[in-house]
Amino acid sequence: MNELQTQLTGSDMLMGLFLPIGIVLMFCSRVRFRNEIDAALRMFCTVAIGLLCFWAIGFGLAFGNSLFGFSGTTLFGFSIRPGEVSPQKFLHYAILSVIPSLFVVGAMMERGRLSGSMLLAAAVSVFVVPLVFHWTWAETPTGTGWLAVTGFQDPGGSLVVFGTAGWCALAVSVVLGPRLGRFNAGLSPIRGRAPTITMLGMWLFILGKLALDTTFGAVPGDDMEWQIIVALLAASAGVSIVMIGTFLKNNFLSPGDWSPSALSALIAVSAVGYEVSPILAIIIGAVAGVLRAVTRNILEHYEIDDIGNMISMALIPGTWGVLIVPFLVVQEPGNFNLFNLLGGQVLGLSVVGIWSFSIVFVLAGLLNRTGLLRVNLNEEQNGLDLTHFGSNSEPAFALRQVSRTSGNLHPYDFDLKSELSTLLQTFNGALQEFQLDVHDAGQRTNLGKTGDIGSTAAIQLAVSFDAMRLAAEEVNLLIEQIVRTQENSGNSISEKAGLMSAIRLILEQPVEDVGSLARRIRLEIDSDELESYVRAANAACGRLNGKLNSVLQLIDILQSGAPALQHVDPVALLEKISPKLKIQAEALGTTLNMSVESSPGMIQGHPLYLAKLLNSLVELSLSRSDGVSSVVNLEIRDFGDGVLFEILDTGPVLPARALEALDEPFSRIADDLDIRDLDTIISVALINQLVRLQEGTVQFKSEVGVGTQIVVRLPYFEDQETA
C-alpha cells in the first residue's frame, strides 16, 4: 500500500467514527431535559471505557492466536509490538466494539445508575463482544473462530455487531424495567427533547457505517460507489414502507419511526456486503423496516422500554440480514450447499443471541440485587443530571427558548411571546425569592442543626423546586405548540388569544401562592411551620404541572387525526385505573361509586383514548365537588348497539361557557374566567373530543341543586355487533 492509499484509508477510517457518534446523538436526543447532561456524559464515558478495554484485553481475545477457535491468547494491549497489528484493522474493530456497549448504556437512560452502566459497558467490551468477534471473524495462524468454521457468514456485522447490541440492550431493559410513566394508561407519552438531532444522528450513522464497510470491512473494492447506492436504496425502502403503513393506519406520520426504519434496512443489507441488485436491496430494506415496526409493537406490548426504538432497530433486522446470506452471497464452486449454509447461519444466530442476552441478563441481575442498576424513585423524578452530576435545568430555561425564536415571529406573535416571557420571569423570580426566604428562615430557627427536621425540610424544598422545573419543561413544550399553531393560517386571532389567556390564568395562581408563602416565612415561625410551607409550595408546583398537562393533552387531541379503532374491554380498563381514581376521591373527601350493571362486551375504541376519557370523566366530577357531602357515581352498562358510560355528581353546575366551547374551547377563554371554570372548559372539551375520535356521542346535563349528568355512548366493535 503506497502513501496515498494509506492516507486515504486513514481518513476514511476516521469517518467511521461517525457511526458511534450517530448512535450517541440518537440516544441522547430521546431523553428529557432533566437527563440531557447525564445522557451525554455517560455515553462519552462509555466510548472512552470501551476503547481502553478493547485495547487492553478485547482485541487480544478477538484476534489473538486462537485457542481451539474459542478465544484469542495474544495481542493484548501492553504486549503488542510496533508493526504487529495494522492500525486500520485495530481502529475498525475498536469502533465496532463500542457499539454494543453504547446500546446497553442507552437502554438504561433516565433511570439507570451511572456506576452500574459503566460496569456493564466494561464487561461487554472486555468479554461479550470480543469472544463473538473471535468466533465469527478471527483468522489466525493457530486457527479460525469455531462459528466461522461451520460456515457462518456476516461480513457487514449485521448480527455480530448490531444483533449482539440488540440482545445486550434487551437483556438490561428487561431487568431494569421501564421508565416511570412510560406505559401508564391515560398519561401523556414521554417526549424526547430534540427529534431533529435524532435525524442528524441517523445521517452520521449512515456515513459512518458506509465508511467502515467500504474501506476495510464488508465490501472493500472497486465498486464502492455502486455499493453506496445499493445501501441508500435499501435505507430509503425501509423508511418509505413504514411511512406509508403508518399513514394508512393512523392517518398521520410518526417521525419517531423514520430514523430506526432507515437504519434497520441498512443493517440488514450490510449482512450480504451490499452485493445485491437494486431490486433485491429495496426488498431487503422494506422487509427490514416492517420487521422493525413489528418488533417495536411486540416490545411495547410486553412493556419493554425501547428508548428511541434502538433495540427494535438492531435486533430483528440483524437476524433477517444474516438469514438471507446463504441465498444471495456467491459461493465458491463446489462449496455450495444451501442446507449446510443455512444451518451455519441459524447456529450463529442462536449462539450469539443466547450468549449476549444471558451474560448481560445475569450481570444486570447481580447489579440490580446490589442496588447498582437503577436509581431510586426520587432520583428518577428529580432527573439524573442532579443525581449524578449535581446539575439542574433552570425553571426559566423556557425564557431562553422564547428569546431564540421571537425574532422570527410576526408582530402579533411577538407580543404574545413577550407577555409569556414576562410571566415566566415573574414566576421564576417568585421561586428564587421563596428559596432565599426559606434559607433565611432556616438560619433564624437553626433548621440546619436540628437533625431530622432539617433533613425533611431540605428534601421537601428540593422536591418543590423539582416539580416547578418539570412544570417549566411542560411550558416549553406548550410554547413550541403555540408557535406551530400561529403558523397555521386556519387558527383565528381569538383562539390564539384564548390560549394565551389560559396560560396566563394557570401561571398567575402559583405565583400568587408562592409569593404568599414567602411573605409568611418572613414572619417569626418555628421549624414545623416552615416545613409545612415547603410542602405547600411543592403542592402549588404539582397543581401547575397538572393543569399544563391538561392543556397540552387538549391541544394534542384537537390536532390529532382519527386513530385506528380496536377491540377494547371497558371493564378491564376501569379496573386498571380505579385505584388511582379512588385515592383522588378520598383526598377530596368525596364518595366515588363505580359499578358495572351488566357485562358489556368489547367496544370500538382506542385503549389510550378510552383511558383518558374515563380519567377525564371522573376527574371533572371530582374537581367540581363541594366537599364531604359530594357523591360521584360512575356506571357502565349495555345500551343496545353499544356501551353507555354515565357519571352523576352532586357538585355545582357546569358553566354555560364550558358547554358552548365543546369544539373550539380556546375561543371561549378570556381573562375574566376564574381558574376553576378554566379547568372545567378544558375538561369538557377534552371529553367531547375523545368521544368524537372514538365515533361515540356525549350529552351534558347540569341543573342547580341537582348536579351534573354526563352520558357517553360508544358503539360495540362491528364484528361483535353482527355476531
Are 711 and 696 within 8 A, CB to CB? no
Residue with cell 431523553: 31
Nearest to 59 by CA among 120, 125, 135: 125
**Measured distance CA(410)–CA(27) in Å, rounded:** 35
Count of C-beta atoms within a 10 Å radius of residue 444 = 13
φ/ψ region of 669 (left if φ > 0, alpha if ψ in -120 to 50, else beta) reads beta
Question: Residue 330 has what pLDDT?
Answer: 54
3-state SS of 143-205 is: EECHHHHCCCCCCCCHHHHHHHHHHHHHHHHHHHCCCCCCCCCCCCCCCCCCHHHHHHHHHHH
Determine the residue type at 654: L
**Measured distance CA(44)–CA(33) in Å, rounded:** 18
Are 435 and 466 within 8 A, CB to CB? no
Question: Residue 402 has what pLDDT?
Answer: 36
Question: Residue 368 has what pLDDT?
Answer: 92
Question: Residue 394 has what pLDDT?
Answer: 41
Mean pLDDT of the chain: 77
Are 228 and 260 within 8 A, CB to CB? no
Are 485 and 552 within 8 A, CB to CB? no
* 501: Cα within 13 Å, side-chain hemisphere: 22
Query: What pTM was estimated for this model as a whole?
Result: 0.59
**Measured distance CA(307)–CA(170) in Å, rounded:** 11
- What letter does residue 630 receive in the DSSP assignment? -
Question: Residue 247 has what pLDDT?
Answer: 77
Which CATH code is given to the segment(s) 13-385?
1.10.3430.10
Q: What is the dihedral of CA 426, 431, 434, 440, to 10 degrees?
A: -110
For residue 676, the SS3 value is helix
For residue 643, the SS3 value is strand
**Measured distance CA(650)–CA(668) in Å, rounded:** 25
- What letter does residue 548 receive in the DSSP assignment? H
Question: Residue 413 has what pLDDT?
Answer: 38
Determine the residue type at 246: T
Question: Residue 445 has what pLDDT?
Answer: 58
Fold classified for 394-559: Bbcrasp-1 (1.10.3160)
For residue 139, the SS3 value is strand
Question: Residue 409 has what pLDDT?
Answer: 32
**Which cell numbers hold the place of 173?**
431493559
Are 258 and 243 within 8 A, CB to CB? yes
**Domain range summary for the chain, segments of one domain joined by +:** 13-385, 394-559, 566-722
Q: What sign results for the dihedral spanned by CA atoms 98, 103, 107, 110?
A: positive
Over the chain (723 residues), the average pLDDT of each successive run of 10 is 43 79 90 84 94 94 93 87 80 93 94 94 95 94 91 89 96 92 60 76 91 65 74 91 81 71 91 83 93 91 88 90 80 59 90 96 94 86 76 44 36 46 67 71 55 48 54 55 49 64 77 80 67 71 71 71 76 82 76 76 78 80 62 80 80 75 70 74 84 84 81 74 41
Which CATH code is given to the segment(s) 566-722?
3.30.565.10
Strand partners of residue 639: 642
Nearest to 662 by CA among 612, 703, 697: 697
**Measured distance CA(607)–CA(6) in Å, rounded:** 59
Are 575 and 636 within 8 A, CB to CB? no
For residue 324, the SS3 value is coil
